[in-house]
Every structure is written in C-alpha cells, then in structure tokens.
Amino acid sequence: MAETKFKIGNPVSFDDVIIDRNEEENLDPNDDNLPEPNWPRADDETVELENDIIVILPRIITDEGCQDIISIHQNAPFDDVTIENEHDITPSEMVQKFNLSYKYEAGHNKDHMTIAHNSPEYNKILEIVGSCIPDHRDFDRVTYMQIVHYKKDAFFPYHRDMAETTDFATCIMQLNDDFHGGQLNVQGCHVPKRTGTLTFFNNSTRTWHGVEPIYDGERYVLLIWFGRNE
C-alpha cells in the first residue's frame, strides 16, 4: 500500500499534501459507519472489571524511538476538523476517504494527532512500543491512538476518562523531558518526567489523572487506549 507523501517541510494543511494511495474503506474500528463488532463494553454491568492496576516503565523506550514518534506528529498536516466538543471530533472528507492520520488544534493550548488504524504511522508506533504492552486482557487490542503536543501554558485538567464504552485501559508515553512543569499524576502517582517512560493503567473511566501546566518548553506524549477481545 502506498504511503501518503508530504511536501518538503512541515505541511500546514491537507492542501499541501500529495495523496499517493487509492481510496479505501475507513479501517478505524471505532468508526460509527462500520458494523459494530460485539466487543466487551466497560459500561455493561454483566462484564466483570479487573482490579485497578498502574504499571510505570521508566526509560523503557529509546530516545531514537521517541524522536521517531515526535517526527510523525511534526510532519503531519493540520486538518479542517469539525469540533462539536472535546470528545466529538469529525475529520475532513479527504481524511475519511483515504483513512489518513490527521492533526488538529485542541483546547488548553494543545494540538492532537489522531493516528489512523492500520496506517503506516500506526504500524510504526506499534513496532516501537508493542513489546511493552502488558499481557492483560484489558490491553488485548488498540482502540484509539493519538500523539499530543503541549505548548507553553498547556495543561490537562484532572479527570476520569469519558471514553468509548469499549475502552478498558490507557497508555501514556512521555516522548521528551526538556520542559518545565507538565507533571503527570495518575491516581496520586507522580510519574517520572523521563523520555521513554511508559505508564499503563486500566479502568480509566474511574482512575483520576491529569497534567499540570507547562511553565516552559513543549511536551510530547503518545496516548493509546485499549479494549478487550472477549
């Protein structure tokens, strides 16, 4: 499958992108237009939830791997998305038609890149982090993936996820550490601000987590959400 080709430099929008691939069905498993698989649902009272776990792996990913993921974000174009609210983002028709990854301006001085399921970027990221994913049923399959760029003064309020009902767990990977502030707190655990550190936790709709403001510099993180197979 041909990859999307970008012009030299950092494209500002999809107007600056050359598409060198065939139109294809959207491979995103969370797309509302696809038949709904019978995945286990976290809000189903008949589904037994696991005990809460938090796994922190300091400096487990190399600097090279982290920079590769940052570069994926930096080289991506911004899309003309429709934002109903922070949980309801609709990408452009081109993105949906070709199953493309895309970037957009989000709230609290951040920009987010949503990684298209089974795209070259998606597969590259799993090549880097896949071996570290816990062998636990709450982490059976990837449901959603984003790279988030925090600029100066950006933050993420403490919250419990209002995620898809098929999401059972979350991964937060710190891609750089050359910034001040930006402390990640997961249910009272202050995660070390070290490049390549992975934090996994399940039951994210009942686990408090958030990020303090960036006082200086910029912060990049990879976010992955997981569901169960059965």
Cβ neighbours of 91 (radius 10 Å): 21
C-alpha–C-alpha distance, residues 7 and 156, integer Å: 32
User: Is the separation of the CB atoms in 4 and 75 below 8 Å?
Assistant: no
Please tell me the number of Cα atoms within 13 Å of 160 on its side-chain side.
7
Complete domains list, the chain, with CATH? 5-227 (2.60.120.620)
Q: What is the mean pLDDT of the chain?
A: 86
Confidence (pLDDT) at 180: 97
Confidence (pLDDT) at 15: 63
The phi and psi torsions of 147 (rounded to 5 degrees) equal -110, 130
pLDDT tens readout for residues 56-80: 999 999 999 999 999 999 999 999 9
Confidence (pLDDT) at 139: 97
Confidence (pLDDT) at 35: 53
User: Is the separation of the CB atoms in 187 and 230 below 8 Å?
Assistant: no
Please report, as a single letter, which amino acid is at residue 151.
K
pLDDT tens readout for residues 193-211: 999 999 999 998 889 999 9
What are the residue ranges in the chain where pLDDT is below 70?
1-36, 86-87, 163-164
Which tokens in the block code for residue 161? 């996820």
